[in-house]
């Protein structure tokens, strides 16, 4: 028996548009929570604050503490005055960034783009995925300028303006650098985190700066041909030690979000989590062997997305898609601001 090749269409499902959440639940931990048994595919319907009852003393909960930067900048071309939108993706050196430029055709190397607050960007090069590398010039502190002039880059399926930019940040976001929020974490409130700690659950923070590759559609019909975008991660020695001790003692390691899982599995291929930092383009799909993570808190993901493939790898594609069918019937809210699933 050879392996079964999975096609992109194997990860398709019908989603009515009105189930795409435009705002987070209020309060955050009152989103719904589907409990999903990864062995049997059985589901139960709860609320996010009920996660507390599913966690046990000794469990390790791993969060991604990356902070979304207001990465969408509006400027104009110095030569012509033509309007330009620039989206910061990844820092690649001293004041150099990989960016997406709209409209891109005229953003040739040598083009200078001017922004408010005296910020300029010179286009140096093209990237292999249609982006650009730019060099920024400015007076003062780059982060402060971006905070002043930038806008939050909401996912393409969120059509309503955000009243409060903090809606798209986790309460524990610390390390600036993401172009998109690690959204499973949006459901946690300070109070819920305190209750979870009080129960004897250990909280660990790792960092993975989420690039917009998260939203990049898979275009290859044979999913194994899809090239993932690289993202920067870092894991402290303390975080690695806590996770490794739990693994050695047979305690559960629970990832909050697909970015945490990708960080842990990138740095844990031997079954022991390595501290340090680096770039990962790990692509997890059915057939993958998990070395670190036992359970996952996650949102409901787009049809045919790499994230749907990742959660299918934790169970089976058929069982996950059946759970998604139930979620649609039960009118769960989908995507970044939507409801959550606990795969255990």
pLDDT reading at 214 higher than 70: no
**DSSP letter for each residue of 2-33:** PPPPPBGGGG-----GGGB-SS--SSGGGSEE
Alpha-carbon distance of 225 to 219, in angstroms, equals 9
Domain residue extents for the chain: 8-68+166-343, 72-149
* CATH no., domain 72-149: 2.40.10.240
State mean pLDDT over 231-248: 97
Q: Give the pLDDT score at 166.
A: 87
Mean pLDDT, the chain, integer: 94
Which of 155 and 314 is assigned the larger pLDDT? 314
pLDDT reading at 53 higher than 90: yes
* CATH no., domain 8-68+166-343: 3.40.1780.10
Task: Pick the closest to residue 158 from 286, 334, 30, 33 (CA basis).
Answer: 334
Domains 8-68+166-343 and 72-149 share a fold: no
Tell me: the pLDDT tens digits for 310-336? 999 999 999 999 999 999 999 999 999
State mean pLDDT over 177-187: 93
Tell me: the pLDDT tens digits for 11-44? 999 999 999 999 999 999 999 999 999 999 999 9
Tell me: the pLDDT tens digits for 269-281? 999 999 999 999 9
């Amino acid at each position: 028996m050879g392996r079964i090749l999975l096609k992109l269409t194997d990860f398709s499902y019908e989603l009515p548009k009105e189930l795409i959440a435009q705002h987070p639940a209020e309060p955050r931990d009152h989103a719904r929570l589907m409990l999903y048994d990864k062995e049997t595919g059985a589901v139960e319907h709860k609320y996010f604050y009920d996660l507390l009852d599913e966690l046990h003393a000794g469990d390790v909960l791993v969060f991604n503490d990356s902070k979304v930067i207001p990465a969408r900048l509006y400027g104009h071309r110095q030569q012509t005055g033509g309007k330009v939108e620039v989206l910061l993706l990844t820092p690649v050196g001293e004041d150099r960034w990989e960016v997406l430029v709209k409209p891109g055709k005229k953003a040739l190397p040598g083009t200078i783009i001017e922004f408010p607050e005296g910020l300029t960007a010179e286009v140096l090069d093209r990237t292999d995925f249609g982006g650009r590398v730019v060099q920024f010039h400015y007076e003062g502190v780059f982060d402060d300028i971006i905070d002043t002039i930038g806008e939050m880059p909401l996912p393409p399926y969120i059509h309503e303006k955000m009243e409060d930019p903090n809606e798209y940040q986790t309460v524990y976001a610390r390390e600036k650098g993401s172009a998109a929020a690690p959204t499973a974490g949006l459901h946690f409130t300070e109070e819920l985190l305190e209750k979870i700690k009080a129960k004897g659950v250990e909280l660990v923070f790792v960092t993975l700066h989420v690039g917009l590759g998260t939203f990049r559609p898979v275009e290859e019909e044979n999913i194994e041909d899809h090239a993932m975008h690289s993202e920067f991660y870092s894991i402290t020695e303390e975080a690695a030690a806590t996770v490794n001790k739990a693994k050695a003692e047979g305690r559960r390691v629970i990832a909050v979000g697909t970015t945490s899982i990708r960080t842990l599995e990138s740095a844990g291929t031997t079954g022991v989590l390595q501290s340090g930092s680096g770039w990962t383009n790990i692509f997890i799909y059915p057939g993958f062997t998990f070395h670190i993570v036992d359970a996952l808190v996650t949102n409901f993901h787009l049809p045919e997305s790499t994230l749907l493939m990742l959660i299918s790898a934790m169970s089976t594609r058929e069982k996950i898609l059946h759970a998604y069918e139930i979620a649609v019937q039960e009118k769960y809210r989908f995507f970044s601001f939507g409801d959550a699933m606990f795969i255990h």
